[in-house]
Amino acid sequence: MVKVLIVDDSAFMRNALASMITADPEIQVIGMARDGIEAVEKVSQLKPDIVTMDVEMPRMNGLEALRQIMANNPVPVLMVSSLTTDDAKTTLEALDIGAVDFIPKNLSDLSINIVKIKEILIEKIKNIGKKGLPLFKRISRPKQLKMPTTTDYTAHRKINVVTIGSSTGGPRALQNIICNLPKDFPVPILIAQHMPPSFTKPFAERLNQLSAIEVKEAENGESVRKGVVYIAPGKGHMSILRKKITETTISITENKGEYIYKPSVDVLMLSAVENFSGHVLGVILTGLGNDGLKGMKEIKNSGGRTIAESEKTCVIFGMPKVVVEAGVADKVVPIDEIAGEIINSV
């Protein structure tokens, strides 16, 4: 049984969340709190497996409550955020402090239906609550890289593009990787992180501030440049098109019927294989579901290279697990070693 503490100043939101998640018999709401002060007290008293934490509350807001909880009684925390640019920046700060992921407050506004939202919320709470806090450290600044001692991949062709896919827990994992890459990285990096549209630009801007390498939200029609990290915008799917040997451009498409999650990891990786067959590095990070499995298979089958994050550092070992079980991961390594693997692969 996963024990949940719900923290929100809105009685409606507390009850809405409780109603959604207790539909699953393996989840129990053991308490509710109306502000950060109550949250800190109840985490200490009730010892929940996971906390849902509102961002804006009276007396003590979600960020301050999160700081105190992580300092004194560390527990997985899901931030509950409005889908605004300002709240996106606050939520990204919360992830840096120690929150494992976030859920949208205005649930009905998402592009996927409410039944799917409920399923995802329940799965996040169950997976994260059962596992507890993943084994990673705060990574707001670059640190000494753990460089791999071997570079044995099944494929030895030159890598021309790096593609990375992630979902739940991905923002922290991506920060760990991107902050450790050099400014003169020799190829472009394209990332599909499942994220609402209002979050991807602040996320890219935050990574750009923290990193030596340039990071930006990708734009439709722009040329792909080496040494730049492109974050797929949350409004649609990102793919690449190689117009000629010297020019590759980005395409952002809102409708890809079979792909539920935006932006889709599979759409990105499959387009990379189509244009750079045999010369793609695919990296799959923490996340729920199986987005990226098709893409990683094609990267592997075309002669490219593949890396999956290991279970011990994943917030949710879903997306990497299906890749590993399918036998298409060349390497399975913890998050602290992935930047080194990427550098050595190019």
Q: pLDDT digit string (tens) for 226-270?
A: 999 999 999 889 999 988 777 899 999 987 667 777 899 999 999
Mean pLDDT calculated for residue range 317-329: 97
Can you give the pLDDT at residue 103? 82
Can you give the pLDDT at residue 110? 46
Give me the catalytic one of 54, 87, 101, 291. 291
| φ/ψ (deg, to 5) at 160 | -105, -15
Mean pLDDT calculated for residue range 108-122: 65
> Does the structure show a pLDDT above 80 at 156?
no
Q: What is the pLDDT of residues 272-290, one digit of tens each?
A: 999 999 999 999 999 999 9
Type of residue at 272: A
Q: How much is the mean pLDDT over the chain? A: 89
Q: What is the pLDDT of residues 159-168, one digit of tens each?
A: 999 999 999 9
**Fold identical between 2-131 and 161-345?**
yes
Is 35 assigned a catalytic role? no
Give me the catalytic one of 81, 167, 198, 345. 167
Can you give the pLDDT at residue 81? 80
- Tokens 């400014």, located at residue: 183
Can you give the pLDDT at residue 114? 59
Can you give the pLDDT at residue 91? 86
Give me the catalytic one of 9, 87, 166, 194. 194
Is 167 assigned a catalytic role? yes
CA distances for 239 relative to 103, 242, 292, 313, angstroms: 26, 10, 13, 28
- Domain boundary assignment for the chain: 2-131, 161-345
Fold of the domain built from segment(s) 161-345:
Rossmann fold (3.40.50)
Q: What is the pLDDT of residues 171-220, one digit of tens each?
A: 999 999 999 999 999 999 999 999 988 899 999 999 999 999 999 999 99
Q: What percent of the chain has pLDDT over 70?
A: 89
The band of 30, judged by pLDDT with boundaries at 50, 70 and 90, is: very high
- The DSSP call for residue 245 is T
Taken in order 117, 202, 133, 74, is the CA torsion positive or negative? negative
Q: Are 287 and 311 in contact (CB under 8 A)?
A: no
> What phi-psi label fits residue 292: left (phi over 0), alpha (psi between -120 and 50 degrees) or beta?
left
Q: What is the CATH class of 2-131? A: alpha beta
Is 184 assigned a catalytic role? no
Can you give the pLDDT at residue 141? 46
Give per-residue burial for 46-65: e unless 16+ CB within 10 Å, then b: eebbbbbbbbbbeebbbbbb
Check whether the bond before 202 is cis (ω within 30° of 0): no
Q: What is the pLDDT of residues 55-110, one digit of tens each?
A: 889 999 999 999 999 999 999 999 988 766 677 888 889 998 999 998 877 655 44
Can you give the pLDDT at residue 217? 97
Q: Are 54 and 13 in contact (CB under 8 A)?
A: yes
Can you give the pLDDT at residue 151? 56
Q: How far apart are CA 317 and CA 325, in angstroms?
A: 11
Beta partners for residue 307, in sequence order:
283, 331
